[in-house]
Amino acid sequence: MQTFIRKMFYGDYGEEKNTASESSSGNASTNEWPLWEVFIRSKQGLDHKHVGSLHAADAVMALENARDVYTRRGEGVSIWIVESKNIHASSPDETAALFEPANDKIYRHPSFYDLPDELKHM
Amino acid sequence: METSLEEQFQQKIDQEIKIEPKDWMPEKYRQTLIRQISQHAHSEVVGMLPEGNWITRAPSLRRKAILLAKIQDEAGHGLYLYSAAETLGISRDEMYHQLHAGNAKYSSIFNYPTLTWADMGAIGWLVDGAAIMNQVPLCRTSFGPYARAMVRVCKEESFHQRQGFESLWVLSKGTDEQKRMCQDAINRWWWPCLMMFGPPDDESHNTIQSMQWKIKRFSNDELRQKFVDMIAEQIKILSMKLPDPDLKWNEEKKHYDYGKINWEEFWQVLKGNGPCNKERLDTRKKAWDDGAWVRDAATAYAVKKSNNQLNNSNSVYANLH
């Protein structure tokens, strides 16, 4: 069987992004702080949702920066941050094949079923 | 028949399907976006500098708090935009380097000085007003991360313009000296604001391609006209005048006609010969250099902490055996 999910750093960024422990790896353009993805729960009862990213030296700084950058107007009650290199993503090149199995299973939708009009509330 | 990648790309654009970072895109689309988004980010960052001067000189605590909040927003907007540009494969450091080396452009408007407190009002009303005119259509731009960043920016930008107008409105009802200050600020900022929309359409080489790729939705001249029409009405409420003897309503076109823009000045400022180009860049570089020890300390602390964690977990492991 073909495996579609393969390790790939966060879908929106390249794999060359350095991490906290590797941050002093030589050339001038790579001594920046690692990249973190920010997820915010806007209110109790809702999922955390991806809102963007930022650079920070460590997790504590990432949380504080996320508060300042992404919640200046009460946009959230909870913040998750995760280092971007830890996010694995499906590949856009394989989108069609990856989601193909769902395409021909229309019987998974309630509207597929032909029911008598007398039947109420179903 | 097989369609080329380039044709498939254009079809997606035509169908209003957003382009996401890992999708195939023409190299020129990528480069155009990197240039545009990073210039936009630089503009937010440099845009803080003309205002910073007035934080300690604001006339009341209320105005000071508002100005601080506005400047903090601008830092945030720069960060949203830098992140969006990074999805295209350029690093944050590289963008900073381009700015600090004087190789990157930012909005020419920020190379003008802020001489009086009224300039804070005029910047909010006119400069941010012009920026919003540009930014609202960018919320629908074809590149996903840029569009999402712009939605966030536009939501926050509205207060910037309103506080600016309010501030001028107070001056316009004040003493003769306050009224003069208000009119003087409008006089100095009006023409540079019209230049913010970029060169006229027939001299703007990037426009056609950018419109085809739906990076841009309106041409420079279209947006400039919308801005003139809006401000020409709003200024009546302030009982002030725009410094343009040719400004008048054109009943046939249903738009305001306006006078000739001094494009020579625009090109000079863009080339680095504006009143404050050097000062802005020097201030920005100084802030970056002076902050180096903080960045280094934070990095060293993070490395030390993660090493400690590593050592601790090793010793736990050793104890188990």
CA distance B26 to chain A (A): 16
Residues B122 and B164: beta-carbon distance below 8 Å = yes
The H or E element that residue B224 is part of is helix B220-238
Confidence of residue A12 (pLDDT cuts 50, 70, 90): low
Res B28 pLDDT > 90: yes
Cα angle for residues B167, B168, B170 (degrees, 5° grid): 70
Predicted pLDDT at B317: 56
pLDDT tens sequence across A37-79:
999 999 999 999 999 999 999 999 999 999 999 999 999 999 9
Specify the pLDDT at position A121.
85
Confidence of residue A13 (pLDDT cuts 50, 70, 90): low
Q: How far is B292 from chain A (nearest CA, A)?
A: 11
Q: What is the mean pLDDT of chain B?
A: 94
Cβ distance of A14 and B94 shorter than 8 Å? no
Nearest CA in chain A to B89: A14
pLDDT at B3: 83
**Residue B320 pLDDT grade (very low, low, confident, very high; cuts 50, 70, 90):** low
Decide: B219 and B243 in contact? Cβ < 8 Å. no
- Give the pair of three-digit tokens for residue B162: 């309103």
Helix (H, G, I), strand (E, B) or coil at A37: strand
- pLDDT higher than 50, residue A16: no
Q: What is the pLDDT of residue A110?
A: 92
- Per-residue pLDDT, A60: 95
For residue B249, the SS3 value is strand
**Chain B residues with CB-CB distance to A63 below 8 A:** none
What does the pLDDT read at residue B177? 97
Quickly count: other Cβ atoms within 10 Å of residue A68's Cβ.
Answer: 13
The pLDDT assigned to B39 comes to: 96
Q: What is the DSSP letter of B125?
A: I
pLDDT (average), residues B9-35: 95
Distance in Å, alpha carbon of A67 to nearest chain B alpha carbon: 11
Query: In Å, how far are A76, B109, B199, B254, B260 from B270, measured between CA atoms?
Result: 40, 9, 11, 32, 19
pLDDT band at residue B111 under the 50/70/90 scheme: very high
Q: Report whether pLDDT(A103) > 70.
A: yes
Indicate which of A13, A25, A88 best probes the interface with B, i.e. most B CBs within 10 Å of its own CB: A13
Residue B302, pLDDT above cutoff 70: yes
For residue A18, what pLDDT band results from cuts at 50, 70 and 90? Answer: very low
Start-to-end C-alpha separation, chain B: 66
Give me the residues of A, 66-105, that contact B with CB < 8 A: 68-69, 72-73, 89, 91-92
Residue A8 scores a pLDDT above 60: no
For residues B288-310, give the mean pLDDT: 92
Let me know how many helices (H) and strands (E) chain A has, helices first.
2, 3
**CA–CA separation, B285 and B302 (whole Å):** 25
